[in-house]
Structure 1
Amino acid sequence: MKLNMVLDNKKTILVLALVLLSFIGIGSLLPEELTLQRWVAAFFAANALVAMALTFVLSTRLEILETIFRGLDRVYKAHRWAGMWSVFSIFMHWWLVPQSETPRDESSLMEIGSDTGEWATWLLLALVVISFMRILPYHLWRWSHRLMGLVFFVSVFHYLFAVRPFQLFSPAGIAMNVTAIVGLAAWWYYAFGKSTSKHHLAKVQNVKKENGVVSFEAKPLQGRPTWNAGQFAFISVLHHEKIAKEPHPFTIASSQHQGVARFSVAGLGDYTKTLYDHLSNGDMVRLDMPYGRFKLNRSSSPQIWMGSGIGITPFVAWLQELNYTGALTSKSCPNVVLYYLVKNAEAAIFAEELQQLTENLPSVTLKIVYSEEGRITPERIADDLNGNVDNAELYFCGNPEVRKAMQEGLESLGMPKNNTHYELFDFRGAI
């Protein structure tokens, strides 16, 4: 596990180094004879184009991106930082670019190309405000996000036809041409042509509703999707009058060996409450899966698994995996203390299943914690581990505030930094 962490950190450093080198490379390609103001203005224009293209590439959900960034949530973090850098760069270019004092022919293509730069600036500002302030419902926000492609298209038009300090087929021009092509292709793939290799049409069955949580299975109509325990899927409910078609991410609450993907969704927001109220047997869904890097670790180091409320679902899948592989193979079972954090016994809808799953796993200790009787503390966890937190690993799913408190508390008691593992599902606000 330590080796994997070192490799992951090296990957992150390598990615950051490549990004830094790319920006340095942009500057080195610009003509040396430019005045400082024109050079800086051109540098930020090129940065804006590259950063926008990068945001579209990061939106494609390609598997290689998950591998490089160690999770889709981190991909979307990079996506948003690239978006912010593009906003900063395009405004710096707009502010710094020298204004010509010669008479203008408003009908010329060059003048139209120059004007489009300002159009792109204000359109980008409006879309970014919408994105960051979350002033639109999710389904409208997704469409507004697709309009980023229009900003990029206008920016490319501006690049092609406005006055440039370099030729189209100079080294700088070739680099920008390739950037424009890659960015437009990535946007088209994201908005309209996303690969369907991960898409599976399925029918909802075995719907169960209990204490604000709807659980159901999604049985594929053709083929059989594969996934690792702990991964998640984007689910779109199809042809339903009361449930929007927009995709939402949910953990797959079953091991692949169970034969069918199961999901449990807590009605905590508008969309999930609609699912709870209206989802029923026979409904059609599209599964876009699998995604995620929250995977079972079989190392012998002490592990703390903590599921807050509906956050218990990936651990249910892990336990199913351990039961299956333990019965059929000689694969080891890690030393685990599993905490199921719920308000009270009524809310502990997975308690019986967890007890059954841990019954034949002697190295896994289940502890159900009712917040009404007292909240979990890092000190209590350390006691449960007999003080052995020096090489413990924390795996958390659920309330981010609880995760942060547990992480900070355990690290203060000796757990190494970078030993906390989690994934964020807040792709709209992943920053």
Structure 2
Amino acid sequence: MKNLYLTSVGIIFLCILIWLQAEPDLLNNSTLMQWRSPLIQITGIISTLLLTLVMILALRLPQIERLTAGLDKSYRLHKWLGIYAVVFGAIHWLLAIVPKQLVRYGVMERGAKPNLTIDPDSFYATIHSLRGGAESLGEWTLYLFIALILIALFAPIKYQRFKFIHKLMAITFLFIAYHSLVLLKHAYWDDIITPIVIGTVVIGVFSALFSLFGLIGKRQQYQGTVTSIQYDEQNKTTLIDIDAPKWPGHTSGQFAFLTLAGEEPHPFTITAAGGSKGNTQRNRTSVQFLVKALGDFTSTIHQRLEIGKKVTVEGPYGHFNFNDNKPQIWVAGGIGCAAFKARLAELKQLDRPEPILFYYCTENPSPQLIRDLESATYGTNVEFHVVDNRLHDFLTIGDIKRHNGDILHSSVWFCGPTTFSTAIQQQLRDEHFDMQHFHTELFDFR
């Protein structure tokens, strides 16, 4: 994730460097009013650039997922870029409004207006006449966008309203795009920053329309039929098998969105190994989910489903692929064991000499699930441990070191609750562990 943020910062700095070419006299400015105009421009450009990146990241495109090493990381970056876009938008607004008010109350002197001669027959004359409306539209759109961001981040709303809010965000981006193009400084028209801004806005508009027309994820959606449902009363989990004839295949550690008729899509880890695209093995079209009862939907999914029911599966997504040549340490918290269950099935077909330590941590141990995981380790180089949190404290890195003293030369693969992940990561940092070898999925998409 760190590399993704550094790349985003690099894109912003590159944009600023290009913009500076259009402001050769910037450092000669001596008053706030002289600095105000260029700063309004660059904060607006950066905000629009960030919003375009936000729109692109929301499209669930396979190419973008590969660049970000997983859809979960795409959405985390999407979230934070959206927040920073609003921050720059707010600074842009403050630069536009506050100096005007200071001049109005006599605190500051109005700066000299540039002597701009406009050819009445030029295209810019038409654009210039729209500036007043574009300014007002941008101001009110910013208010709306901030409100939508706050609701999306903090309000306890269901997916349908969450989805509606994001549709509104796409609409507000169209207004922001109009505001950005109309109010782009005329002095920039002969510089490279102008086609860059126009190109950015056009890409953002296409991304917004892609979202508004409901095309996100459409190419990754496959119709399937429920073939098996097994509910574990003790562990409150439901094992679901789905046959999706056109499913392209998946690898262990990936996840998919499952949609029932009349319900919103929910992401679940795929728990059974499956063939890669182009593979003809029998189970390639089979998709299996192990669903833990954690909310209204997951608690009743075994009652809503029945054999032969049609569902939609969208995916596969994720890059939790166990792809390294190090001794591995697996830590599963509760239903996080699903990703490792699929990998255990793959290991029997692979020649992997490196040892693996597998810790399954649970407050509701199911004898059947434990037997299934334990039997799946037979014939592999996996050492399996169950941590019953009713009897023992939560697993720590100290516990792991007692089994594997050479933790610094291992990779750690984690799937479980966020608080558990945070604790494990902090303990690893205390051990001076190279966090590039810590791998996890970020299932919090809000």
Give me the TM-score of the superposition, normalised by structure 1.
Answer: 0.85
1:216 counterpart = 2:234: no
Quote the offset at 1:10 in angstroms: 6.5
1:343 counterpart = 2:367: no
Q: Distance in 1 between matches of 2:399 and 2:131?
A: 69
Aligned pairs for 1:159-174 (under 5 A) are 159-162=180-183, 164-166=185-187, 171-174=192-195
Q: Distance in 2 between matches of 1:11 and 1:120?
A: 28
Match of 2:254 among 231, 248, 262: 231
Once superposed, which parts of structure 1, at least 4 consecutive aligned residues long, lie more than 6 Å away?
8-12
Q: Distance in 1 between matches of 2:16 and 2:210?
A: 25
Quote the offset at 1:412 in angstroms: 3.6
Quote the offset at 1:414 in angstroms: 5.9
Q: Check the 8 A contact 2:337/2:360 in 1, yes or no.
A: yes
Cα pair distance change 1:352/1:184, threshold 3 Å: same
Residue type at the aligned position of 1:214: T
Which consecutive residues of structure 2, in runs of 5 or more, have no partner in the other structure?
Answer: 105-112, 114-128, 276-282
Q: Distance in 2 between matches of 1:135 and 1:57?
A: 25
What's the CA shift string for 1:219-272, capped at 9, x where partnerless? 11x32321111111111112x4xxx1x222110001005431100111102332
The residue aligned with 1:46 is 45
Q: Distance in 2 between matches of 1:205 and 1:43?
A: 56
Residue type at the aligned position of 1:219: D
Q: Distance in 2 between matches of 1:152 and 1:319?
A: 45
1:205 counterpart = 2:246: no
Quote the offset at 1:291 in angstroms: 0.8
1:419 counterpart = 2:431: no
What's the CA shift string for 1:315-336, capped at 9, x where partnerless? 010000111x24xxxx324311
The residue aligned with 2:314 is 288
The residue aligned with 1:408 is 426
Match of 1:332 among 347, 352, 373: 352
SS in 2 for 1:175: helix
Cα pair distance change 1:89/1:276, threshold 3 Å: same
The residue aligned with 2:107 is none
1:25 counterpart = 2:18: yes
Q: Check the 8 A contact 1:252/1:262 in 2, yes or no.
A: yes
Q: Distance in 2 between matches of 1:200 and 1:337?
A: 35
1:87 counterpart = 2:86: yes
Cα pair distance change 1:38/1:12, threshold 3 Å: closer
1:250 counterpart = 2:275: no
Q: Check the 8 A contact 1:298/1:332 in 2, yes or no.
A: no
The higher radius of gyration belongs to: 2
Q: Distance in 2 between matches of 1:263 and 1:18?
A: 39
Q: Check the 8 A contact 2:5/2:77 in 1, yes or no.
A: no
Q: Check the 8 A contact 2:217/2:314 in 1, yes or no.
A: no
Quote the offset at 1:298 in angstroms: 5.5
What's the CA shift string for 1:325-375, capped at 9, x where partnerless? 24xxxx324311111112244x354212112211111x2111112112213
Quote the offset at 1:31 in angstroms: 7.2
Task: Compare 64-73 and 45-54 and name the one that shifted more.
Answer: 64-73
SS in 2 for 1:373: coil
Q: Distance in 1 between matches of 2:342 and 2:175?
A: 47
The residue aligned with 2:73 is 74
Quote the offset at 1:63 in angstroms: 2.1
What's the CA shift string for 1:265-310, capped at 9, x where partnerless? 11102332242442222222211111111112352x3211111111
Q: Check the 8 A contact 1:265/1:272 in 2, yes or no.
A: yes
Match of 1:111 among 132, 138, 158: 132
Cα pair distance change 1:287/1:378, threshold 3 Å: same
Cα pair distance change 1:161/1:155, threshold 3 Å: same
Q: Check the 8 A contact 1:339/1:368 in 2, yes or no.
A: yes
RMSD of aligned alpha carbons: 2.6
The residue aligned with 2:280 is none
Match of 1:265 among 291, 305, 321: 291
Q: Check the 8 A contact 2:171/2:208 in 1, yes or no.
A: no
Q: Distance in 2 between matches of 1:164 and 1:15?
A: 25
Cα pair distance change 1:392/1:411, threshold 3 Å: farther
The residue aligned with 1:148 is 169
SS in 2 for 1:350: helix
Q: Check the 8 A contact 1:214/1:265 in 2, yes or no.
A: yes
What's the CA shift string for 1:99-124, capped at 9, x where partnerless? 5999xxxxx74432221011111111
The residue aligned with 1:378 is 397
Q: Distance in 2 between matches of 1:115 and 1:408?
A: 47
Quote the offset at 1:183 in angstroms: 0.2
Q: Distance in 1 between matches of 2:185 and 2:87?
A: 20
Q: Distance in 2 between matches of 1:155 and 1:370?
A: 53
Which consecutive residues of structure 1, in runs of 5 or more, have no partner in the other structure?
Answer: 1-7, 103-107
Q: Distance in 1 between matches of 2:46 and 2:324?
A: 43
Residue type at the aligned position of 2:231: K
Residue type at the aligned position of 1:118: E
SS in 2 for 1:209: strand
Cα pair distance change 1:333/1:251, threshold 3 Å: farther
Q: Check the 8 A contact 1:267/1:273 in 2, yes or no.
A: yes
Quote the offset at 1:168 in angstroms: 5.5
Q: Check the 8 A contact 1:29/1:172 in 2, yes or no.
A: yes
